[in-house]
Structure 1
Amino acid sequence: MTTLYLFGSAAPPVLEIAGVIEEAQARGWDVCLGLTPSAARWLEADLPALEELTGRPVRWEYKRPGEPDVWPPADVILFAPATFNTINHWALGLTDRFVVGVVAEAIGKEIPTVAMPCVNAAYAQHPQFHWSVDALRSMGLTILYGEDGFVPNQPGEKRPYPWHLALAAVEAAVSPRP
């Protein structure tokens, strides 16, 4: 069974994470859910149900030295939604958040990693965001941003998040290559 680390930041699509977990499980993946601290606060009332759904603790903090790891090793990681802040922290190597630390380390461990941002068009105008997306892509990561992924919406605009693209990219990342 493929172990998927599913990570999410505090953006509206994280509120749909239970359905994404169910879809990933239907594809035969063992899902471990990690969140930024803000996303964990957004989902606070749902955390027990999410732990029951995955059969594992939901994590948003680093474990203490000497504590055993409660998750199996990842075969693939999906970070979605990934906010402006998360993308920039990750690209700059700022690992004060557990999930950002894991994906930063995944580069060196060569764990296939897919990310799909969720930023509005105002944030997307900041040059650091584009530099960060380019930096992450240059590290061999799949960043679903632009025409083949997430296209920024106008501030306040609501539209469906393309979870199907993220899950398809994860599937492609773990599929045997010919």
Structure 2
Amino acid sequence: MWSFSHPSKSLIGSESRRLEGRRIVLAVTGSVAVIEAPVLARRLMRLGAEVYPVMTPKAKAMLSPEILEWATGNPAVTEITGKIENVAAFLKPPEGTPADLMLIAPATANTLAKLAHGIYDNAVTGFALAAMGAGIPVILAPAMHHQLLSSPATQRNLEALQEAGFEIVKPKVEEGKAKMADVEDIVEAAVRRLTPKTLEGFRLLVTAGPTREPLDPVRVITNRSSGRMGVALAAEALRRGAEVTLIYGPGSARPPPEARTVRVETAGEMFEVAVKELKSGGYHAFLAAAAMADYEAEQPSRSKIPTSKFRKLTVKLKATPKLVDEVKRCSPQTFLVAFKAEYKVSLRELKRRALERLKACKADLIVANDVSKPGAGFQAGEIEALIVDRRGKAVRLPRMSKEEAARRILDLVEERLKAEGRKLT
């Protein structure tokens, strides 16, 4: 017998280490959404998880078990044998090393009915019952025709499953179908379930996105910010159990639905909402990740400026209020993380300017980056940055996803909050 490492294992942790060491049982049932299983498996693996596939007979008929073995590097369990695979997967030390989570995606109406009534007639239902009996969380991602989802029996089954402790990732209802949730939404549910709730009891205020300052009713002054960094920070704080308010300009990144999101358009609106929130009290930290416009038109036109009449246009601008300069005046005890974007500067100069800005606004930390770097600026999925504290100590973030950067930033914020004893009173 040859002994070698499956090539697919090289994907584990290739994007992030946030699920490092986690073992996830991925169970698939007989829905056409089974075709998403390899994509879902590899997405979890890239975040560091080891994935073990399990299939019902119908899923096996629709998708070859070899495909899931190819995707995960682990053979798919398609039936329970004398090895009692479903029990072995959740044995605790010293007998074994249990899986951390079971994910059933897609979960058909038939599977939901069986689980709701404790029926064990295939590998997936056997694994699910064993997981719940061992206290291992189980997440379900239903997929079926809308008529099946709407039936009283299915609704009763979903209620019973939730009462029993199963977590449900709601399907997308479109084209007469209750389609399985997007892969990213399922992954997010798994990540959140497996993230320790180290910020439970903390309230965080986050700003994200650009702002738009009107020149006339049609044209605006804005910048290239997508809002992805601020949205990533809000999502990461939620995963850790924090209560999050997100003040969001017109960015393109989708805000996390669990956050309390306040939509704004202009820098003035963002300033006003943030100050009101800070004065209301109770925020332990403020992460000012929004790229607020620095200037606005002194007198915006009330009607559309006709280009046929004005071949040249002179616009008088005035500076917008600096929100980070107001934070400590409104809420001195709030831990302030400022952000600063520069363009084509040396690392030494970036640190100097960051420290200068930090001192000016009395921030506790500042995150500075050079947006001129290809693929690591506005609208990019990655970032390179420096995190500088009041003593001038800098932590360098090499190029990484903004989601991973959010994790690193919040590690530092969490460490400082707890070291300073900033708990709710």
Aligned match of 2:9: none
Aligned match of 2:69: 51
- 1:161-172 correspondence to structure 2 within 5 Å: 161-172=181-192
Report the identity percentage.
25
Aligned match of 1:30: 50
Determine whether 1:61 maps to 2:79: yes
- 1:3-152 correspondence to structure 2 within 5 Å: 3-44=23-64, 47-64=65-82, 67=83, 69=85, 73-145=98-170, 150-152=171-173
SS of equivalent to 2:144: coil
Q: What amino acid sits opposite 1:143 in the alignment?
A: I
Aligned CA RMSD, in angstroms, stands at: 2.1
Relative distance call for 1:83 and 1:53 in structure 2 (3 A) is same
Q: What amino acid sits opposite 2:168 in the alignment?
A: I
For structure 2, the 5+ residue unaligned runs are: 1-20, 90-96, 199-425
Relative distance call for 1:158 and 1:175 in structure 2 (3 A) is closer
**Matches of 1:152 and 1:118, distance apart in 2:** 10
TM-score by length of 1: 0.86
Number of residues of Structure 1 aligned to a counterpart in Structure 2: 169
**Matches of 1:153 and 1:93, distance apart in 2:** 30
How far 1:48 sits from its partner (Å)?
Answer: 2.3
Relative distance call for 1:75 and 1:160 in structure 2 (3 A) is closer
Q: What amino acid sits opposite 1:37 in the alignment?
A: P
Determine whether 1:177 maps to 2:197: yes
**Matches of 2:26 and 2:152, distance apart in 1:** 27
Q: What amino acid sits opposite 1:151 in the alignment?
A: K
How big is each residue's C-alpha offset from its partner over 1:50-83, in whole Å with a ceiling of 9 and x where there is no partner? 213322210121122xx37486631111111100
User: Which structure carries more relative contact order (alpha carbon 8 Å, separation 6+)?
Assistant: 1
Relative distance call for 1:24 and 1:129 in structure 2 (3 A) is same
Which structure has the highest strand share of the two?
2
Relative distance call for 1:159 and 1:120 in structure 2 (3 A) is closer
**Matches of 2:162 and 2:28, distance apart in 1:** 19
Q: Which runs of 4+ in 1 moved over 2 A?
A: 47-50, 67-73, 151-155, 157-161
Do the aligned partners of 1:119 and 1:153 also contact (CA within 8 Å) in 2? no
